[in-house]
């Protein structure tokens, strides 16, 4: 099962190795740092699909003036991970093209690195940075619209600064990172079994996705075998989570163009799905279903009910797209080109709507899903993201039916080879979730790195919105529907 190859390298060798892996079709899944006696250990995880390949580059830097060569020129996400690590650990990326703070809150004191072992309790907020350095767009008729971080409605905090001429967006700056909870730090020192409930709560709507990625990582590190039956049950839970979230968002997209009758009906279907979730796991948001070493289902979902729901959703999607005004609002709105989606390293339905062929269910399978082909569109607009999600609902129902109906033919896989660290890659409903854990010799967690696909997808939103109009922003934002909590850990 363990297909992870690990190479210990020196910092100077990093760019060369990374360039080779990226050229070989890998993408950077995460960079994880850890402080130990005498320095920092960094792990760069590169992954590629078909066949599933995971390569980890490990290197050490000293604790005095820690620095690594920057990979920002090779990979855009790498540049963002490096800024994250710089803000949390104080490891400087050398020759970084955009060495601004990322995670570090505006009001944190300078030089305080919360993930270091000697960080201590959170300091009181100050104002070391002065006003936030928004780039001002100059020119005749340009004005700014500041929105947030407190919004109308139940939305997480994020500040959006639009520079606008008339109604056309010239530049959008999304200022996030208002919700740092120190969740990665909370994992430290816990027993793996006690970390599960934390992982389940990384992002409220992705309980199964994060719990499963965490469990896969822990199971690889502790060499716990998981029966094929349990893995299939986990796959069912993952698809159930995708179902209720996709249905909700299809309705929300219709609501954003004031077509609220479909929103009301998706609300009805969402409630049916949540009740189904409660029957399957005892929790409406599927918490407690994924366990370390297995899964716990009270009952299997009834395929007939799911098929009825699928027909209902298909009708709603068709009604929406046959409505000329709705179709007009969706079509051609906020196009994210395939090239931009690839360069920014986007994941999930955002990537697939722009023509990228990425899906961890096929690229990094933890159970055999047979001949699974992810939905894909190339237009990259709101319409494509809407259609992808409608298609994924149908695909999820087909997958659940297949997982329930087919007898478990596969033999239980052998236990993973242990290495005191482990990686879990799971296609959550937003995209590929990556967890990487490291265990101390006594079996407790010393480092858990969590990456929600929102971390990769947030930079794509302003790119897609370039030259869109202001009143379309809520619709476009909903079509991406990125997590703030999963992004800012």
User: Using CB under 8 A as the criterion, which residues of the chain lie in contact with another protein when the complex forms?
Assistant: 143-147, 151-153, 167, 254, 256-261, 264-265, 268, 323, 325-326, 328-329, 469-474
Torsion of CA 415, 416, 419, 425, to 10 degrees: -140
Torsion of CA 206, 212, 213, 218, to 10 degrees: 140
What DSSP string describes 72-120?
A: TTT-HHHHHHHHHHHHHH-PEEET-SS---SSS-TTSPTT--TTSTT--
Question: Whole-number minimum distance, CB 269 to another protein, in Å?
Answer: 12
Cβ distance 447 to 32 under 8 Å? Answer: yes
| CB-nearer residue toward another protein: 241 or 256 | 256
Question: Whole-number minimum distance, CB 132 to another protein, in Å?
Answer: 16
| CB-nearer residue toward another protein: 213 or 262 | 262
Cβ distance 202 to 450 under 8 Å? Answer: yes
Question: Whole-number minimum distance, CB 332 to another protein, in Å?
Answer: 10
User: What's the distance, Cα to Cα, between the start and end of the chain in Å?
Assistant: 29
Q: Is 450 annotated as contributing to ligand binding?
A: yes
Question: Whole-number minimum distance, CB 168 to another protein, in Å?
Answer: 10
| CB-nearer residue toward another protein: 23 or 154 | 154
Question: Whole-number minimum distance, CB 487 to another protein, in Å?
Answer: 21
| CB-nearer residue toward another protein: 263 or 287 | 263
Question: Whole-number minimum distance, CB 429 to another protein, in Å?
Answer: 23
Dist CA 203 CA 200 (whole Å): 7
| CB-nearer residue toward another protein: 154 or 409 | 154
370: left (phi over 0), alpha (psi -120 to 50) or beta: left
Q: Is 184 annotated as contributing to ligand binding?
A: yes
Alpha carbon 171 to chain centroid, angstroms: 25
| CB-nearer residue toward another protein: 258 or 299 | 258
Task: Give the helix ranges, DSSP H, for 257-291.
Answer: 260-281
Return all residues near 394 (Cβ < 8 A) that are at least 6 apart.
310, 313, 314
- Binding residue ranges for Mg(2+): 184, 450
- Binding residue ranges: 184, 450
């Amino acid at each position: 099962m363990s297909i992870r190859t690990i190479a210990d390298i020196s910092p100077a060798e990093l760019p060369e190795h990374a360039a080779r892996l990226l050229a070989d079709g890998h993408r950077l899944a995460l960079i994880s740092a850890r402080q130990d006696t005498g320095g920092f250990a960094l792990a760069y995880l590169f992954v590629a699909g078909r066949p599933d390949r995971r390569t980890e580059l490990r290197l050490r830097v000293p604790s005095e003036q820690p620095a690594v060569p920057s990979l920002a020129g090779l990979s855009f996400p790498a540049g963002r991970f490096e800024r994250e690590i710089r803000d949390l650990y104080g490891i400087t990326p050398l020759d970084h093209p955009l060495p601004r703070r990322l995670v570090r809150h505006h009001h944190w004191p300078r030089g305080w690195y919360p993930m270091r072992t000697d960080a201590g309790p959170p300091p009181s907020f100050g104002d070391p940075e002065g006003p936030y350095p928004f780039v001002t767009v100059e020119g005749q008729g340009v004005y700014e619209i500041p929105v947030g971080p407190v919004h109308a409605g139940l939305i997480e905090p994020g500040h959006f600064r639009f520079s606008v001429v008339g109604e056309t967006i010239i530049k959008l700056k999304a200022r996030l990172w208002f919700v740092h909870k120190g969740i990665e730090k909370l994992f430290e020192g816990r027993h793996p079994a006690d970390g599960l409930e934390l992982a389940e709560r990384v992002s409220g709507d992705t309980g199964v996705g994060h719990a499963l990625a965490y469990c896969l990582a822990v199971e690889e590190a502790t060499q716990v075998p998981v029966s094929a039956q349990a893995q299939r049950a986990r796959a069912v839970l993952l698809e159930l989570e995708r179902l209720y979230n996709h249905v909700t968002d299809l309705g929300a997209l219709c609501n954003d163009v004031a077509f609220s009758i479909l929103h009301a009906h998706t609300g009805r279907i969402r409630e049916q799905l949540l009740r189904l979730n409660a029957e399957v796991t005892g929790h409406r948001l599927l918490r407690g279903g994924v366990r370390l070493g297995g899964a716990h289902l009270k009952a299997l979902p009834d395929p007939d009910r799911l098929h009825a729901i699928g027909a209902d959703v298909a009708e709603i999607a068709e009604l929406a797209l046959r409505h000329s005004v709705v179709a007009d609002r969706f079509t051609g709105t906020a196009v994210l080109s395939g090239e931009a989606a690839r360069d920014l390293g986007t994941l999930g339905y955002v990537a697939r709507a722009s023509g990228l062929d990425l899906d961890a269910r096929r690229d990094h399978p933890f159970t055999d899903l047979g001949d699974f082909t992810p939905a894909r569109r190339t237009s990259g607009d709101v319409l494509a993201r809407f259609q992808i999600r409608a298609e994924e609902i149908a695909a999820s129902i087909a997958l659940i039916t297949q997982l329930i109906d087919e007898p478990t033919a596969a033999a239980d896989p052998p236990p993973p080879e242990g290495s005191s660290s482990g990686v879990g890659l799971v296609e959550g409903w937003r995209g590929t979730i990556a967890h990487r854990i490291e265990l101390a010799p006594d079996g407790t967690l010393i480092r858990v790195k969590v990456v929600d696909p929102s971390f990769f997808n947030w930079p794509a939103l302003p790119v897609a919105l370039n030259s869109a109009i202001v009143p379309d922003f809520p619709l476009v934002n909903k079509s991406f529907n990125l997590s703030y909590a999963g992004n800012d850990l």
